[in-house]
Structure 1
Amino acid sequence: MKVLVVTTKHAASSYYRVREPARAVSELPLGAEVVVVGGLATTMSRTPGPDGPVVVDIDDQGADVVVFQLPKTAELVQMVSILQARGVGVVVEMDDLLTAVPAGMPGHRRLVMGGMGERALECARLADHVTVSTPALLTAYAAHGRGTVVPNAVPRRVAELPPAYLREPGTATIGWAGSVHGHPYDLPEVGSGLQQALNAAPSRFVVLGEAGDAGQKLGLTHAPAEIRWLPDVDSYLRALGEEFDLGIAPLRIDRFNTAKSWLKVLEYAARGVYAVRSPSAEYERLGLGWRARAAKDWAKGLTKGLLEPEWRTAQARAAREVVLDRHLTEHTAASWVAAWERAAEHRGGVLRRSAVAVG
């Protein structure tokens, strides 16, 4: 079976939902040839339709199945139908609830107000199969019953890097990986908890990404240090374990975040970083990290981690072992292949039924 995967330009989504799964599948005897591309060559009609350009042909490169990651344009809706008409199974891969991006977050205007999120739903409704990272996304995108949850996982090479808890003791660093601009509503969930912990023991706070007004949102006495985004995901993951001893993963509990995956806490765990996190549905399902519902919980979890380094190490070590045992890309590879096979089977069944009806 040849599978052609059309990936997004977003580095993290492409890494976790396409490139690393494709690598894992290729390294195992699962009967799938996976080709990852940034786009497909198309032929457009010389006479655009009322809503703009119309796709009339696509180069599917001889694939049995084509996977579209985060499709959200009218042209992609057209491409799904063209491929299916010629017998190619189509999979739609989604790892965010695009119709629920809150106002104030980047992308809200295009995805919600501009209708791109609705185009994604339309592509998913047409698809022979849908793959998602969480059960909430399965409910949203696969109401037709043709869907599979393939949880986010990390490559073994990342989980086997020297973990944070093996570093030489020094001033403990609490870190957050993210961009305040991209996640304006999450850090306030910590309340005064982080500052209480910083007051309780010698420590520092660092943002790996874009700090913006993180200090203000967290009510800190001093602005945090900032390590700017690194050029690729592997470099970022390496830095997590080299810079953080403790990590925070706050999420405002809303529709968008409830559908999000457990990825940040999984990354912390893979790199041996002790995590304190919000009680989101997926963080709870993963079951790793210290649950924090209010400022006092953030303060207690962080302070205990700072004042009891041996306990912190034991927690981080145990979480990393869970990742190595259950949450590597090699553990999910067969699920990806099974989903692609279901798409091919469904498309074949549709064509057989159509042929019988015509005959």
Structure 2
Amino acid sequence: MLRIFSVLSDYQGVGWYRSIVPGVALANRGHSVRLEPGLPKQLPPGTDVLVGGRLCLPGPSLNFQRHCRAGDVFTVLELDDDLWSLDPSNRRAVDFYTPDLLDNARRCVEMADLVTTTTPVLAERLSAWNRNVVVLPNCVPGWLLHLERTVTDNGRITIGWAGGASHARDWGEINKPLRRVLLHPANRDRAELHMIGGPDWTDRIRTPRTTVRHTGWFEWVVDYYLALDFDIGLAPLRETAFNWAKSDVKLLEYSALGIPAIVSDTGPYRATGRHLAAFRASTPRQWEELLRELLDAEDGRRAFGAHAREWAISRTIENNVQLWESAYSAR
């Protein structure tokens, strides 16, 4: 049995997928797992493994590095984004991750006994600072595949997107083709856009003849899952170094709920070759054509959604928790 202390970066996306979901699965396998929002000066007696997520602030970083030097526990630095390749348009992140904070994060990577991350691309970049890097892919809890997707009873086909402020320019990839599709006479009364997250960019699509709605973020991830009432899911990504290191978690969420998806032909979606659970688009025309095709094919949407859900079985935490066990046991 491993005794694991995991530092939560938050309770939403990063904290959920990189700490809470694997932590619960490890606990269900008999390990002792403690999830805390901060790193105390003294760890609980008998701790075997210390997992630090996105450590960069001076206090937690120095505390983590102290354990690295002392060798009193097996130290794991968990990182799911390439913080050194942030897109300039993501001003909130660029302003937060100052050169000093990035240096703190880099030193934690260098000093950790093990670095865990989400994709081979990010693992290769981090391996320049630490030779012991392991890919632990983002996974969903198995119960999500059995969650009945919410259906909005308004008679419309819901085209949906979910994401945060860092996707401003990604969203720009589909503004025009999406607006053209929604404005088409055949779609004005049968299709709508539902955007979850924010900021609210529905003004980029809204016209007197389009139906759009926005839902803000949720405090609890389960409430977010329940809000995904999409009939067609969108996952646009621009061609950037930051996006190439990202994971396919958005597609994974859609697939687990049986939502057919259109994704950009870049980053994690191109890296896997011909993806078994998504339609890929690389031009505005392709986005428009695929949207029209899925809007016109109710049976096709249902069949492809079921196919995507089958793929998502391979990415449940229950089918992958042994990867975390193996990584954390490699002391």
TM-score (norm 1): 0.83
Counterpart contact for 2:192–2:210, Cα < 8 Å:
no
Q: Report the CA distance between 1:196 and its aligned residue.
A: 2.8
1:120-269 aligned at under 5 Å gives the runs 120-143=105-128, 144-163=130-149, 170-179=155-164, 181-198=165-182, 199=184, 200-201=186-187, 202-216=190-204, 222=210, 224-240=212-228, 243-269=229-255
Q: 1:276 aligns with which of 262, 282, 300?
A: 262
C-alpha separation in 2, matches of 1:229 and 1:293: 28
Q: Which residue of 2 aligns with 1:302?
A: 291
Q: How many residues of Structure 1 are paired with residues of Structure 2 in the alignment?
A: 319
Distance 2:108 2:125 in 1: 12
Report if the CA contact (8 A) 2:39-2:60 is conserved.
no
1:72–1:117 contact (8 Å) kept in structure 2: yes
Question: Cα distance, 1:321 vs. partner?
Answer: 1.1
1:101 maps to which residue? 86
State the distance in 2 between where 1:219 and 1:253 align.
Answer: 26
Indicate how the Cα distance of structure 1 residues 163 and 59 shifts in structure 2: closer, same or farther if over 3 A, else same. closer
Task: Flag the structure with larger Rg.
Answer: 1
Amino acid at match of 1:135: P
- Relative distance call for 1:7 and 1:86 in structure 2 (3 A) is same
Contact 2:81 2:245 in 1 (8 A): yes
**Among 321, 324, 337, which residue is 2:310 paired with?**
321
Deviation track 1:210-244 (CA, whole Å, cap 9, x = no partner) reads 3533432x58664721122223101101211xx21
CA separation in 2, counterparts of 1:308 and 1:6? 45
CA distance in 1, matches of 2:50, 2:199: 38
Residue aligned with 1:34, SS:
strand
Q: Write the letter of the residue equivalent to 1:134.
A: T
Output the CA distance in 2 between the equivalents of 1:290 and 1:283. Answer: 10
Relative distance call for 1:272 and 1:234 in structure 2 (3 A) is same
Matches of 2:156 and 2:72, distance apart in 1: 60
1:338 maps to 326
Aligned partner of residue 19 in structure 1, secondary structure: helix
Shift of 1:288: 2.1
Q: Aligned partner of 2:172: which letter?
A: P
Counterparts of residues 82-97 of structure 1 (less than 5 Å): 82-84=66-68, 85-97=70-82
Q: Describe the shift of the 1:108–1:63 C-alpha distance in structure 2 as closer, same or farther (beyond 3 A).
A: same
Shift, 1:107, TM fit: 1.4
The amino acid that maps onto 1:280 is T
1:73 correspondence with 2:57:
yes
Q: Distance in 2 between matches of 1:283 and 1:238?
A: 25
Structure 2 length-normalised TM: 0.89
Partners of 2:118 and 2:138 within 8 A in 1: yes
Gaps of 5+ in 2: none
Residues 300 and 80 of structure 1, relative CA distance in 2, 3 Å threshold: same
Against the structure 1 CA distance between its residues 273 and 327, is the aligned structure 2 distance closer, same or farther, given a 3 Å change threshold? same
Distance (Å, rounded) in 1 between the aligned partners of 2:201 and 2:60: 38
- Counterpart CA distance in 2 for 1:291 and 1:253 is 14
Is this contact kept in 1: 2:53–2:79, CA < 8 A? yes
Task: State the 1:122 CA deviation.
Answer: 1.4
Call closer, same or farther: CA 1:215–1:295 in 2, change over 3 Å. Answer: farther
Cα deviation digits, residues 242-266 of structure 1 (max 9, x gap): x211111111110111111101111
Structure 2 Cα separation of the partners of residues 191 and 104 of structure 1: 17
Give CA deviations for 1:261-282 in whole Å, capped at 9, x if unaligned: 1011111111111111111231
Give the 3-state SS of the residue equivalent to 2:167 in structure 1: coil
Give percent identity, aligned residues only. Answer: 28
Please give the secondary structure, in 1, of the residue aligned with 2:52.
strand
User: Among residues 40, 44, 64, which one is paired with 2:48 in the alignment?
Assistant: 64
Number of the residue aligned with 1:356: none
The residue type equivalent to 2:40 in the other structure is A
2:99 and 2:66 map into 1 onto residues whose CA distance is: 24
* Contact 1:176–1:206 (8 Å) recurs in 2: yes
Q: Is the 8 A contact 1:147 1:339 kept in 2?
A: no
